[in-house]
Amino acid sequence: MSGNKNSLITNVATVKELLVFFWRSKIWWLTPVVLALVLLSAIVVLTESSALAPFIYTLF
Amino acid sequence: MNILGISCFFHDAAAALVQDGIVTAAAEEERFSRIKHDASFPIRAIEFCLRTAKLRAEDLDWVVFYEKPFVKFDRILMSTLATHPRSFRVFRESMIKWLAEKLWVKGLIRKRVGIPQERILFSSHHLSHAASAFYCSPFSEAAILTVDGVGEWATATFGVGRDRNIELLGEIRFPHSLGMLYSVFTAFLGFEVNEGEYKVMGMAPYGTPKYADDVRKLLRLHDDGSFSLDMDYFAYHYSPDTAFNGKFEHLFGAPRDPKSHFFTESSGYPAYFGDKPANYKELCRLNQHYADIAASIQLVTEETLLAMARALHVKTGLPRLCMAGGVALNSVANGRILRETPFKELYVQPAAGDGGGAIGAALYAYHAVLGNPRNYVMEHAYLGEEHSEADIKSFLDANGIRHEYVEDDDRLIERVVDALMQGRVVGWSQGRFEWGPRALGNRSILADPRRADMKDIVNTKIKFREPYRPFAPSVLAERAEEYYDLKSPERHYPARFMLLVVPVKESKRQVVPAPTHVDGTGRLQTVFKKTNPRYHRLIETFDKATGVPVVLNTSFNLKGEPIVNTPAEAFSTFSKSGMDMLVLDHFIVEKENS
């Protein structure tokens, strides 16, 4: 239980770090695009499972 | 100081433990999960590392992940946006994986390993590769070349290692990738990416590189050793399931059907393929086209690597080279680099692919970040799990398996040599399993190299491999020069790890025909008394009996399965195959009818 809590805290920190990374990398302008696409993808995650094709796991 | 290195989520997940600068345990997750190229979080491999060193998670000073997830995420976002809308499916598929798992590596490590986040570090993908080669090498100073499919943005890097520091001098960035180019052809030739590259390399000598000029249309080499791909021929940067496009097919024809058997007139048609088809000659002609394409991509890959290595030599002026990344597993190219560039010595670590990143990440933290001096050379690959005699006996007894315990090792080895000389195929499992994709005498299937038909026998009985794939020779290091065109073999570490293809001396090709490839080469393993005394003694005994200091060695697994780890897996593979004898340390199991 405390492992899950710690992991959640770390994940929240990860989101902050990611935003800082976007800012420092000067790709902050991507944030709204990413958020929109991520929301879209989240819907996809919830609605269908994925059969990954041979190439994608190598690259992405 | 205890540092755990972790690599995962793309292919060949692995964990490695570095204790005071020495790698004390390392293994790929597939050996425990039994899923070939398992990419999932390597919890079993981590548990193995801790168990081996008798550590608890809280004893770890640092855990180092082998790449930087945010930078990779950045690459995926930028490259999919650049190719939008064609890349929408890639974006969707990759986001599913990233949102579910890959982005949260730090939280995952914290939860699964159980250490505070302050003790988690991140290396970068190619730096981990570079470190895995340089810090494991015996060189205090060396040029470093890393080449693979892709890491974060880099697909290849040029660098220098000096004492405890590594400096990357330049890089080639996605989508321009030599590893991806080779994988595109692997897919075109009907093989699985990240698995079938060896098959392309094995197929190449059956063809002539008549399409090399066409391959060169895809890749432009620059004077500084870098290259760029003409992306008009490829689809891998925007498609989740296609590597090449119509323009590529226009150049090379239709891709080979993955379900079809591959054979040419010179490769032979093995019995396990069934009856010869009525249109055998026509199929041979068709397959010859694909063999010619394999020869062409292999040649261009070698030329590109040679150009990269030569340019790096000009830049650094150093006589020694360390190589890492999946492309460094191309043992034919490694042989040419050693013979045809000014570099006098080459080091390739046994797990040169992504699995090796676990070792590199941990060693990079220890030496470059924490500033500790170097005190380790990876002289052997026996870093995996071992099983005690008590465990073996208890497994055999519990399952009612008839066996013999031979305490006198000389007598046991003589029994094995007798069996080999009678043409029997022996499963040989001892000590700790090997780090990396090659079996180096601790989880090996052994056979007599002197019989030309042994390749077919091993294939028919056990491996059911494609007939064009060569078997490897294990040779006594001190006698290797008699059989192979390799001066001072003890200096060449890649040969210890079966990562160097060299010509077999012409006078010896008929002496060891089974592990000699169609083009007269061998992917040899030099065996040293110091690092594997028992395997060395076995080959020495075979030499005394036959005058040949070589045995045929192939990995102890069935087709499509990871190499065995436990006595149970070894016995299961032995039972399901046509192997005649199984040796588990001091225990012998024989098939009744053999």
What is the secondary structure of B435-478 as a DSSP string?
SSS---SSEEEEE-TT-TTHHHHHIIIII---TTPPPEEEEEGG
Query: Which long-range CB contacts under 8 A does B458-463 form with residues at least 24 apart?
Result: B458/B425, B458/B514, B458/B552, B458/B554, B459/B270, B459/B272, B460/B270, B460/B271, B460/B272, B460/B578, B461/B425, B461/B577, B461/B578, B461/B579, B462/B425, B462/B558, B462/B577, B462/B578, B462/B579, B463/B554, B463/B558, B463/B559
Give contacts of B104 with chain A, Cβ < 8 Å: 7, 10-11, 14
The shortest C-alpha distance from A24 to chain B (Å) reads: 12
Chain A nearest-CA distance from B570, in A, is 29
The answer to whether the CB atoms of B81 and A52 lie below 8 A apart is no
A31 touches chain B (CB under 8 A): no
Please judge whether B97 and A14 are an interchain contact, meaning their C-beta atoms are less than 8 angstroms apart.
Answer: no
Cα of A26 to nearest chain B Cα, Å = 11
Q: Is B485 exposed, middle or buried (0-12, 13-18, 19+ CB in 10 A)?
A: middle
Give yes or no for a contact between B145 and B309, defined as CB atoms under 8 angstroms apart: yes
Average pLDDT, chain B: 95
Nearest CA in chain B to A1: B111
Q: What is the CATH number of domain B389-590?
A: 3.90.870.20
* Cβ-Cβ contacts under 8 Å, B187 against chain A: 54-55
| pLDDT score for B95 | 82
Residue B73, classed as helix, strand or coil, is helix
**In this complex, is the C-beta atom of A3 within 8 Å of any C-beta atom belonging to chain B?**
yes
CA distance B405 to B363: 41
Determine which of B87-101, B179-193, B365-379 has the lowest per-residue pLDDT on average.
B87-101
Tokens of B398: 């519990």
How far does chain B reach from its first CA to its final CA, in angstroms?
51
Q: How far is B71 from chain A (nearest CA, A)?
A: 9
In this complex, which of B10, B90, B104 lies closest to A11 when CB atoms are compared?
B104
- Whether the per-residue pLDDT at A54 is higher than 60: the answer is no
Taking contacts as CB-CB distances below 8 angstroms, the residues of chain B near A17 are: 70
pLDDT given for residue B91 in this prediction: 84
| Chain segment B59-78, per-residue pLDDT in tens | 999 999 999 999 999 999 89
Class of domain B178-347: alpha beta
Fold for the domain defined by B2-136+352-369:
Nucleotidyltransferase; domain 5 (3.30.420)
First and final CA of chain A: distance in angstroms? 31
Among A51-60, B141-150, B265-274, B352-361, name the one with the lowest average pLDDT: A51-60
pLDDT in tens, A12-51: 888 888 888 888 888 888 777 777 766 765 666 555 544 4
> What confidence score (pLDDT) does residue B90 get?
86
Chain B contact set for A4 (CB, 8 A)? 111
Q: Residue B410 in contact with residue B50, Cβ under 8 Å?
A: no
Are A27 and B236 a contacting pair at CB < 8 A?
no
Helices B389-398 and B567-576, packing angle to 10 deg: 50
Q: How far is B94 from chain A (nearest CA, A)?
A: 6
- Contact (CB<8Å) A34/B108: no
Contacts of A35 in chain B (CB under 8 A): none
Residues of A in contact with B92 (CB under 8 A): 40-41, 44
8 A C-beta contact, residue B5 and residue B60? no
CA–CA separation, B147 and B130 (whole Å): 10
% of chain B with per-residue pLDDT over 70: 100
Query: Where does the pLDDT of residue A1 fall: very low under 50, low under 70, confident under 90, or very high at 90 and above?
Result: very low
Q: Which residues of A touch B78 (CB under 8 A)?
A: 27
Residue A19 CB neighbours (<10 A): 12
Residue found by looking up tokens 């080979």 in the block: B256
Partner A, chain B 181-220, Cβ-Cβ below 8 Å:
183, 187, 192-194
Identify all chain A residues contacting B11, using CB atoms and an 8 Å cutoff.
57-58
B236 to chain A: nearest residue by CA?
A55
- Comparing A50-59, B248-257, B398-407, B528-537, the range with the smallest average pLDDT is A50-59
- Residue position matching structure tokens 């003890």: B490
Asked if the peptide bond before residue B175 counts as cis, ω within 30 degrees of 0, the response is yes
What number of residues does chain A have? 60
Asked if the C-beta of B239 comes within 8 angstroms of chain A's C-beta atoms, the answer is yes
Confidence of residue B39 (pLDDT cuts 50, 70, 90): very high
With CB atoms and an 8 Å threshold, state whether A41 touches B92.
Answer: yes
Residue among B241, B244, B248, B354 with most chain A CBs within 10 A, to mutate: B241
What is the predicted pLDDT for the residue at B321? Answer: 98
Q: Is the dihedral of CA B461, B465, B468, B473 positive or negative?
A: negative
Q: A55 and B243 in contact by Cβ < 8 A?
A: yes
- Using CB atoms, which residue from A11, A30, A58 is nearest to B194? A58
> How many angstroms from the chain centroid is the CA of residue B21?
24
Q: Do domains B178-347 and B389-590 have the same CATH topology?
A: no
Q: How far is A41 from chain B (nearest CA, A)?
A: 6
In sequence order, what are the residues at sequence separation of 6 or more whose Cβ sits closer than 8 angstroms to the Cβ of residue B178? Answer: B147, B155, B156, B172, B219, B227, B301, B304, B305, B327
Distance from CA of A60 to the nearest CA of B (A): 6
Phi, psi of B402 (to 5 degrees): -65, 130
Rounded to whole angstroms, how far apart are CA atoms B164 and A30?
38
Residue B461's pLDDT is what? Answer: 81
Element (H, E) at B316: helix B280-316
For residues B155 and B174, the answer to whether their CB atoms sit within 8 Å is: yes
pLDDT at A57 over 60: no
Residue A45 zone, left/alpha/beta (φ > 0; ψ -120 to 50; rest) = alpha
Question: Domain segments of chain A: what residues?
Answer: 2-59
Q: Is A52 on the interface with B (CB under 8 A)?
A: yes
Q: What is the pLDDT of residues B185-197, one digit of tens each?
A: 999 999 988 889 9
The structural domains of chain B, with segments of one domain joined by +, span 2-136+352-369, 178-347, 389-590
The two three-digit tokens of residue B254, written as one number:
């239709």
ipTM exceeds 0.90, yes or no: no
Residue B547 to chain A, least CA–CA distance (Å)? 46
Sign of the CA dihedral with A6 first, then B50, B438, and B310 last: positive
C-alpha separations of A43 from A38, A51, B85, B337 in Å = 9, 17, 19, 50
Give pLDDT tens digits for B278-334: 999 999 999 999 999 999 999 999 999 999 999 999 999 999 999 999 999 999 999
Q: What does the pLDDT look like over B486-541, one tens digit per residue?
A: 999 999 999 999 999 999 999 999 999 999 999 999 999 999 999 999 999 999 99
Helix (H), strand (E) at residue B581: strand B581-584
pLDDT value of position B525? 98
Provide φ and ψ at B133, rounded to 5°.
Answer: -85, -50
The shortest C-alpha distance from B81 to chain A (Å) reads 10
Could you tell me which residues come within 8 angstroms of residue A49 by beta carbon, excluding any fewer than 6 positions away? none
Q: Which of A29-38, B409-418, B454-463 has the lowest mean pLDDT?
A: A29-38
Question: Number of Cβ pairs closer than 8 Å across A and B?
Answer: 112
